[in-house]
Amino acid sequence: MTDGPAARAAALRAELRQHDYRYYVLNDPSVPDAEYDRLMRALRALEAAHPELITPDSPTQRVAGAPSEAFGEVVHRIPMLSLDNAFSAEDVAAFDRRIHERLGVEGELDYVAEPKLDGLAISVIYRDGALEQAATRGDGVTGEDVTANVRTVRRVPHRLSGRAPSLLEARGEVFMPLKGFERMNARARERGEKVFVNPRNAAAGSLRQLDPAITAARPLDAFFYGLGVLEGEPLPDGQARLLERLRALGLPVSPDVRRVRGVAGCLEYYRDIGALRGALPYQIDGVVYKVNSRADQERLGFVSRAPRWAIAHKFPAEEAVTVVRGIEFNVGRTGALTPIARLEPVFVGGVTVSNVTLHNIDEVHHKDVRVGDTVIVRRAGDVIPELVSVVLEKRPMNPRRPSEPASPEVQLPASCPVCGSRVLRAEGEAVARCTGGFTCRAQRQEALRHFASRRALDIEGLGDKVVEQLVEHELVRSPADLYALTTEQLAGLERMGEKSAANLVAAIGASRETTLPRLLYGLGIPDVGEATALALARHFGTLEALMAADEAQIQQVEDVGPVVAAEVAAFFASKDHRNVIKVLRDKGVRWPDMPKAPGEAATGTLAGKTFVLTGTLATMTREEAAEALAARGAKVAGSVSKKTSYVVAGSEAGSKLARARELGVRVLDEDELRALLRG
Ligand code: IVH
């Protein structure tokens, strides 16, 4: 940017005002909070460097949120302030250090740690125990009178319990629990009404209704965490006692508040609540630490708009704003073309995100994502990142025809971006596929990766980089070619030494002994996952029987519908695929026949025997052992009875082993199991 600081400050202020308006007045923000915070921080930094630029009406100088004229005004007896933010452990340590310095004390301080509820701050006044007035924060000095609406929030009592003070102004947060939010939005969607972007906006929109009957129908809740005024009884000596007192008066207080000591205690709470976050019934965006002692709070006082004795420690933002640099199509194992948005890298949900899947072309059109767009990206917990929406106000327009976007709508390519084969999209289907099949490099690569994956043939050391090179140098065209690879060929690949080449050849060799379900899954038949592969194997028993079956026969298999049956039949009808299977066999890949599904007599060396597995095995997982036993006709049961033939006990075997001894059931160790499996 070449603009001077004055112009930049003006631009930031204009943008922040626009966001304030959409947020506070319309309850309909166009950007996530994190983006708003970022703009605010940028403006603050600019003003700190150029104090002459500060204007009295700068958004940094006040608590945003002009009260709406539709409601009566309430002037708060004591301003409702905001909190400073900490974004890291260092920030928290600095906060604690500042407090020590100001108070001139040493040793660990007592804090109260609370969830930072993501709702709307309110003040509620009780006179002689009766609810008299409720108000929003507004701009911190003047709020809106929302008494009639707050009366409809079930958990806010109209009368306090027990001996009430003559005057109490309690402060807290009105919010919408997640379940209620989802239900309400689902209903709105059904009726084609506007949905709320998040629970906080839903809470704000619900509380600021002119008709309290509408508020009453919304699932609102509240927690209280602070005090405005208290008359007629002594002030509690700290935050912990205050919360106890509020609770005793019948006001809802979060059950997740905790007393902690020092920075370490604060950070431990932050981690604990962070781990709980996804399971909490309400949305939080961080935690708040408050110095417990009221005397200390009073000595620390306030600075501009926030107390010095409290700080909000925010979780990494789950939403962020970035720009779409490009939209590309990835080709998967079954040829499916997946649109991927390449993003200007952005830090969100604790990681840097530079790509996000758009799933299919319908989704791209539905969200109307275009190259150059500013978009909101979300990553919550470990969930894969998603593109939430486009910020249309920021879409670049065509300089010559300003009513037209600069970028055209994204189109499905007519030919595969990898191999150039035609792209087809079946009627009524969301996915478009490259028709190149195994001639398409991308599909070969994905097919190999899948074949070698852990739940398929489980070839250790055949990573993405190796697969890419094998396909690129045409060393491997189909999975069967893997079994002809030599150490010399592999050692010639990039970043592959003699030793790892030899290891890989050994791993490929070891994968020769496999099972029918693994093989079926590994072949990568469209729509055949692990469960379907197992069902097919159980039903047909042998690969020959499956290959000889027609669609109608395949549909006899449990949970297999016409679509999957057609895919399976088409797969084995292909000459290429039949050939791959033949070569696999010729190269020594072996899979024992499967026992028939229950109802048909099982065959195999262990047919008729029932096994129970317990404890930890050293050389295989219990699932692997169960699979190997099933492949030989044995039944694997979950509990020991008189009918159990054998209990296989690994280390740390517990009650099942005891039960086997009690009933006199034969107990095998791992070596004995292996011997049995060898037949
Ligand atoms: S104390 C003077 N405690 O966060 C102290 N605020 O970012 C002011 N908030 O305006 C607030 N949970 O709306 C406090 N446990 C909590 C809170 C909390 C959510 C909100 C509140 C406040 C905003 C500041």
Alpha carbon of 171 to ligand 1 centroid (Å): 9
> Which stretch of DSSP H or E encloses residue 657?
helix 655-663
Alpha carbon of 500 to ligand 1 centroid (Å): 57
pLDDT of residue 264: 97
Residue nearest to atom 23 of ligand 1 (CA): 82
Alpha carbon of 18 to ligand 1 centroid (Å): 24
Question: Interior CA angle at 470 toward 467 and 472, to 5°?
Answer: 105
* 96 has pLDDT over 50: yes
Catalytic site includes residue 642: no
- Pocket residue to mutate for ligand 1, from 36, 114, 173, most atoms within 8 A of Cβ: 173
Taking CA atoms, 662 is separated from 467, 641, 643, 649, 655, in Å, by: 52, 10, 13, 15, 10
Residue 638: pLDDT band with limits 50, 70, 90: confident
* 649 has pLDDT over 70: yes
Strand-pair category, 84-86 with 310-314 = parallel
Residues near 671 by Cβ (< 8 Å), separated by ≥ 6?
none
Taking CA atoms, 545 is separated from 327, 548, 587, 596, in Å, by: 45, 5, 21, 12
Q: Which two tokens stand for residue 335?
A: 């040829």
Give the orientation angle of helix 5-20 with respect to helix 33-49, to 10 degrees. Answer: 150
pLDDT of residue 66: 54
Lowest mean pLDDT among 61-70, 191-200, 565-574: 61-70
* 508 has pLDDT over 90: yes
Alpha carbon of 115 to ligand 1 centroid (Å): 9
pLDDT of residue 634: 84
Q: Is the dihedral of CA 467, 469, 472, 476 positive or negative?
A: negative
Residue 1: pLDDT band with limits 50, 70, 90: very low
Radius of gyration of the CA atoms of the chain, in A: 33
- Pocket residue to mutate for ligand 1, from 83, 87, 309, most atoms within 8 A of Cβ: 83
- Cβ(310) to ligand 1 under 6 A? yes
Contact 654, 635 (CB under 8 A): no
Which percentage of the chain shows pLDDT scores above 90?
64
Strand-pair category, 302-303 with 306-307 = antiparallel
Q: Report the residue count for the chain.
A: 679
- Cβ(225) to ligand 1 under 6 A? yes
Taking CA atoms, 666 is separated from 262, 529, 608, 622, 662, in Å, by: 58, 36, 15, 18, 11
pLDDT of residue 262: 97
Condensed to tens digits (0 to 9), the pLDDT of residues 394-431 reads 999 999 999 999 999 999 999 999 999 999 988 888 88
Contact 280, 309 (CB under 8 A): no
Lowest mean pLDDT among 131-135, 468-472, 559-563: 559-563
Question: Interior CA angle at 284 toward 172 and 287, to 5°?
Answer: 80
The average pLDDT across 377-388 equals: 86
The average pLDDT across 503-508 equals: 96
Q: What average pLDDT is seen over the chain?
A: 90
pLDDT of residue 104: 96
Condensed to tens digits (0 to 9), the pLDDT of residues 388-398 reads 999 998 999 99
Q: Work out the number of other CB atoms within 10 angstroms of the CB of residue 642.
A: 7
* 520 has pLDDT over 80: yes
pLDDT of residue 54: 84
- Among residues 655, 657, 677, 679, the alpha carbon closest in space to that of 667 is found at 657
Question: Interior CA angle at 530 toward 526 and 534, to 5°?
Answer: 110
pLDDT of residue 21: 76
Condensed to tens digits (0 to 9), the pLDDT of residues 156-170 reads 999 999 999 999 999
Residue 67: pLDDT band with limits 50, 70, 90: low
- Among residues 362, 382, 363, 243, the alpha carbon closest in space to that of 316 is found at 382
* 459 has pLDDT over 50: yes
Q: Which two tokens stand for residue 246?
A: 């509020």
Residue nearest to atom 16 of ligand 1 (CA): 116
Instruction: Quickly list DSSP for 111-137.
Output: EEEEEEE-SEEEEEEEETTEEEEEEE-
Strand-pair category, 610-614 with 635-637 = parallel
Q: Which residue has the higher pLDDT, 384 or 309?
A: 309
Q: Which residue has the higher pLDDT, 211 or 293?
A: 293
Query: 111 φ, ψ to 5°?
Result: -120, 160
Lowest mean pLDDT among 332-336, 452-456, 487-491: 332-336
- Cβ(312) to ligand 1 under 6 A? yes
pLDDT of residue 238: 97
Contact 125, 168 (CB under 8 A): yes
pLDDT of residue 278: 80
Q: Work out the number of other CB atoms within 10 angstroms of the CB of residue 463.
A: 12
Q: Which residue has the higher pLDDT, 599 or 378?
A: 378
Strand-pair category, 646-649 with 666-668 = parallel
3-state secondary structure labels for all residues of 20-47: HHHHHHCCCCCCCHHHHHHHHHHHHHHH
Class of residue 586 by CB neighbours under 10 A (exposed 0-12, middle 13-18, buried 19+): exposed
- Among residues 60, 63, 61, the alpha carbon closest in space to that of 43 is found at 60
Query: 119 φ, ψ to 5°?
Result: -140, -130
Domains and CATH numbers, the chain: 3-61 (1.10.287.610), 82-314 (3.30.470.30), 316-434 (2.40.50.140), 438-510 (1.10.150.20), 601-679 (3.40.50.10190)
